[in-house]
Structure 1
Amino acid sequence: MSEQVISLDSISRLGVLSAASRDQVPPPAAAEGCASQGRCGASAGPDDMPAEVWEKVKNHPCYSEEAHHFFARMHVAVAPACNIQCNYCNRKYDCANESRPGVVSERLTPEQAARKVAAVANELPQLSVLGVAGPGDSLFDARKTFETFARVGAMLPDLKFCISTNGLALPDHLDELTRHAIDHVTITLNCVDPEIGARIYPWIYFKGRRWTGVDGAKILLERQMEGLEGLIARKILVKINSVMIPGINDHHLPEVNRVIREKGAFLHNVMPLISAPEHGTHFGLTGQRGPTPAELKDLQDRLGGGANLMKHCRQCRADAIGLLGEDRGQEFTMDKIPETVVVDPSRREAYRAFVEEERADRRAAAVQTESALARDAAVGTPARLVAITTKGGGRINAHFGKVTEFQIYEVDGAGVRFVGARRLPDKYCLGGFDNAPVMPAILDALEGVDAVLTAKIGPGPRGRLEAAGIEVYEDRTLEYIEPAIGSWYAGRMGAALSERSSA
């Protein structure tokens, strides 16, 4: 394959991919309807939504819960400036060890970003999505964002494009989003009440001046609603991010969920506030706490029946690379990227064919547990929380001591449902040595969990978990996650029912 050298002139000759050149997204679930409860969502599959919508989400790790096991995203930090200030945000520079939105290790020009994307695509066949999420706002300096997508689209037309925005500038760029084939947009929307917004946003910058308090929050909210409606009208899939802030908007988020569902948003992602003092945010410095995992789950449970929820978010950095839950950005800093990159799609094509086979096998395995779970549903067996250790592929394939997060699932007779990921401050196993001081944090992360299914675990941590009343299983290594949990649950509840009937 010949080398592709991209410049603005060559883009002009090639032509930016128009909306007509890619599949168009029909109106979101609320307008089109889906087989599953009349809506689409992150946990839905090809039978739950129109085929053209499935084609848009099936390989997007943020919009499809299944896809996040297989596909990687990449964020390029080409948009450093922001037009609002949030009390939970501090856009530090060069914070490679922090995993939270708004921080990056390198800011890039559009030309650098395109070269970097090409290099990453060659090395990571899992890459399916390119996003611009800051570290400021992707549309405050929209020129850099759109130039980046134009350059990358000319080289890698198979990648999905998406942006994340606070929505203030969104109404001014709706047609440009369509022209650049950006068919996934995330809006951070924390309230639909300006009084609450004034407690979250100290100021916004709009039409050449700074607005504060309720006045600023009202303008922001009006622009967010206008932008959301404009995206829906253009058949662009919309995900709403909301930061859960105890005592400020936690009681209000059900109303946010109701409003965005009525307007046709595809997903609602309720994220916990990150407010460690060392991050230097206003909320962090003033002692505003974030929610506990139990509080977040309780809110998500209360939102059931509203707009469909995304529960697998990892609150990525603005320069994140890799599967959700991992960040390989330090492997691809600009000093490691060659001056010229030859784009080779063959590995990505082969990988996607492999994933389709895995998906078919995974779904076939899931069918095997359905009858057992239906039996348990008939007798009203209780729900259980299960923690999984995985390194991707939708399988139980990671050593307990090697993970920095647990994936939490809830299971009962109605099925297996992903609850969320719970992060750890560090790994338990550090180069063959036990990191015993991290165990209290591990136990905190496993609060409410009944069992851990892992590929392997040492006797030390196993003993600590069992002493805390958590069952540990190593007998389902390399099995698919949901079928393994369903099979475990069916066996566990079956044994309990047998004991009950023989007593």
Structure 2
Amino acid sequence: MSTQGLVVPEAPARKIIPLAVAGTAAPRTGGCSTATTGGCGSGSSAGLPQHVRDRVHDHPCYSAEAHHHFARMHVAVAPGCNIQCNYCNRKYDCANESRPGVVSEKLTPELAAKKVLAVAARIPQLSVVGVAGPGDALANAEKTFRTFELIREAAPDIRLCLSTNGLALPEHVERIKALGVDHVTITINMIDPEVGAQIYPWIFFEHKRRRGLEAARILHERQMQGLEMLVAADVLVKVNSVMIPGINDRHLAEVNEAVKSRGAFLHNIMPLISDPAHGTHFGLTGQRGPTPAELKALQDACEGEMQMMRHCRQCRADAVGMLGEDRGAEFTSQNIDAIAAEVDAAQMAESRAAYRSFVERERADQNEAADAAWSQLGTTAETRLVAVATKGSGRINQHFGHAEEFQVYEVSATGAKFVGHRKVALYCQGGYDDDEALPGIVEALAGCGAVFVAKIGHCPRKDLAAAGIAAVEDYAHEYIEASLIDWFAKSVAGAATMAA
């Protein structure tokens, strides 16, 4: 089906990966079906109450499972900020950097609503629109709320969300709720003002610039108050925290406990981005970011009743498309009028509904395949870390040389669990291999015993093998979780046979 340039994919034949796993299956209680966990290893939706799972079902930033299928859009209507962070340098006319606080152009609420309509017509995966900067959504509250009002009128099926540092949050909770903004992200990097003073040079509060411990104390109190008010209003709250080695890395376990006790349902611990080229204070002073191993160790330590988000891409404030991609350049202020003029609202709604129906069939198949694989997995104490090249849809569907990131999973007797992603330099450049990129890719995949790809050439396969990383093509275009579990089971069975 195709309408107004929007193409809804035809559903492939329903397919469950056949398994041939030797050994006795371990007894399971309830399996790993969607009825209990939202899919084997499905990430941030696993273990949540049903009413919460329903609300994050199609939100790519709140559900690790949804991010395979749905897209998000940030509209850059909030240029001003009421605090200064040592890891932030906002740029309003930048097309090259991929990090929070960066946009190519600022939008008015009216232009933002028109852009949302254009994107929704071209990208059927779009399920969420948020305001995430380039400053703070609530330091620009009137622009943010006017944008939401216009989007609600133009595209009522799209979810609304916002991100904030929390300083101005308590005054706006009632209006957030009234506008139907069901998801709010608060960036909380500390609960101890001594730590906060090392992260925030100043805040602007009650018409006055405040510094040091006073600024950090006020920010902390306002963040906790706003969090509690949102939870009381039945708004889902995700907390973002930036991991800064030597400053708040140990402290974030305390932050995790504090936000969990106040009702936040998801915690996203992100690595500090500190490239000196970005011009941030931390970048210019040599403050390093955490290694992937350090980040994972902290996330693992904080995981428990609090769900951990591990699929964050630390997107630009004008990001458009699936997580891990940015199609914002397709929708500039110069061309959105022409795109929006072609939109037929009835056809767009029909096409978007058709895409959602397709996705539900795919997700049901993926969960069934993962359940089937898990049910045949024997008991083992082993754990393997593996990487996957994927373009989305929950499938192993990308050539090794075309990957600019690899998704990382931890595979064990409990299933395949998404634990993060590793960004890399592109290996294939215009049809030619970039051998200089390969050492960096191998370094990025450190700790992974295998990389699953749709296809890979002989040279990178050989170099990966020399580094102890197996290149696996056997599951090309199959579902990720079921494939990893099947491979893991066969690998464990094979190792046991060799040891016998």
Q: Tell me the TM-score normalised to structure 2 length.
A: 0.90
Amino acid at match of 1:184: H
Question: 1:204, 1:216 within 8 Å by CA — same for their partners in 2?
Answer: yes
Cα distance per residue 1:469-503 (max 9 Å; x no partner)? 111111101111010000000000000011112xx
Amino acid at match of 1:131: G
2:92 counterpart SS class: coil
What is the match of residue 20 of structure 1?
none
Structure 1: gaps spanning 5 or more residues: 1-33
How far the C-alpha of 1:42 sits from its partner, in A, is 4.6
Equivalent residue runs for 1:482-493 within 5 Å: 482-493=481-492
Whether 2:191 is the aligned partner of 1:187: answer: no
Question: 1:87, 1:202 within 8 Å by CA — same for their partners in 2?
Answer: yes
Measured in 2, the distance between the counterparts of 1:441 and 1:169 equals 42
What is the match of residue 414 of structure 2?
414
What is the match of residue 371 of structure 2?
367
How far the C-alpha of 1:306 sits from its partner, in A, is 4.7
Question: 1:269, 1:310 within 8 Å by CA — same for their partners in 2?
Answer: yes
2:353 to 346, 349, 354: 349
What is the match of residue 15 of structure 1?
none
1:418 counterpart SS class: strand
Report the CA distance shift for 1:176/1:300 in structure 2 as closer, same or farther (over 3 A).
same
Equivalent residue runs for 1:49-448 within 5 Å: 49-338=48-337, 340-341=340-341, 342=343, 343=345, 344-373=348-377, 375-377=378-380, 380=381, 382-424=382-424, 426-448=425-447
Amino acid at match of 2:284: L
Measured in 1, the distance between the counterparts of 2:200 and 2:279 equals 16
How far the C-alpha of 1:414 sits from its partner, in A, is 1.8
How far the C-alpha of 1:376 sits from its partner, in A, is 3.0
Question: 2:45, 2:53 within 8 Å by CA — same for their partners in 1?
Answer: no
How far the C-alpha of 1:355 sits from its partner, in A, is 0.4
1:335 counterpart SS class: coil
Question: 2:42, 2:418 within 8 Å by CA — same for their partners in 1?
Answer: no
1:396 counterpart SS class: coil
Question: 2:385, 2:448 within 8 Å by CA — same for their partners in 1?
Answer: yes
1:235 counterpart SS class: coil
Instruction: Out of 267-276 and 95-104, give the one that drifted further.
Output: 95-104
Amino acid at match of 2:355: Y
Measured in 2, the distance between the counterparts of 1:472 and 1:173 equals 51
Measured in 2, the distance between the counterparts of 1:337 and 1:458 equals 40
Instruction: Out of 128-137 and 455-464, give the one that drifted further.
Output: 455-464
Report the CA distance shift for 1:294/1:49 in structure 2 as closer, same or farther (over 3 A).
closer
Amino acid at match of 1:63: Y
Report the CA distance shift for 1:413/1:50 in structure 2 as closer, same or farther (over 3 A).
closer
What is the match of residue 4 of structure 2?
none
Measured in 2, the distance between the counterparts of 1:169 and 1:477 equals 48
Measured in 2, the distance between the counterparts of 1:159 and 1:291 equals 35
Measured in 2, the distance between the counterparts of 1:134 and 1:93 equals 10
Measured in 2, the distance between the counterparts of 1:306 and 1:350 equals 36
Amino acid at match of 1:465: L
How far the C-alpha of 1:372 sits from its partner, in A, is 3.3
2:421 counterpart SS class: strand
How far the C-alpha of 1:36 sits from its partner, in A, is 6.0
Percent of pairs with identical residues? 59
Amino acid at match of 1:404: E
Measured in 1, the distance between the counterparts of 2:58 and 2:305 equals 24
Give the number of aligned pairs: 459
How far the C-alpha of 1:52 sits from its partner, in A, is 3.1
Amino acid at match of 1:419: V
Measured in 2, the distance between the counterparts of 1:349 and 1:49 equals 26
Measured in 2, the distance between the counterparts of 1:472 and 1:460 equals 11
2:379 counterpart SS class: helix
Amino acid at match of 2:213: V
Amino acid at match of 1:319: D
Amino acid at match of 2:91: K
What is the match of residue 43 of structure 1?
44
Amino acid at match of 2:373: T
Amino acid at match of 2:349: P
Structure 2: gaps spanning 5 or more residues: 1-34
1:376 counterpart SS class: coil
2:128 counterpart SS class: strand
How far the C-alpha of 1:41 sits from its partner, in A, is 9.2
Cα distance per residue 1:336-368 (max 9 Å; x no partner)? 212553332222111000000001100110112
Question: 1:257, 1:306 within 8 Å by CA — same for their partners in 2?
Answer: no
Measured in 1, the distance between the counterparts of 2:99 and 2:494 equals 43
Amino acid at match of 2:453: T
How far the C-alpha of 1:49 sits from its partner, in A, is 3.9
Measured in 2, the distance between the counterparts of 1:434 and 1:49 equals 44
Measured in 1, the distance between the counterparts of 2:467 and 2:489 equals 23
1:345 counterpart SS class: helix
Report the CA distance shift for 1:314/1:358 in structure 2 as closer, same or farther (over 3 A).
same
Cα distance per residue 1:27-59 (max 9 Å; x no partner)? xxxxxxx9669xx995335xx444432221000
Question: 1:41, 1:309 within 8 Å by CA — same for their partners in 2?
Answer: no
Amino acid at match of 2:44: S
Tell which has more relative contact order, 1 or 2 (C-alpha 8 A, sep 6+): 2
Q: Tell me the TM-score normalised to structure 1 length.
A: 0.89
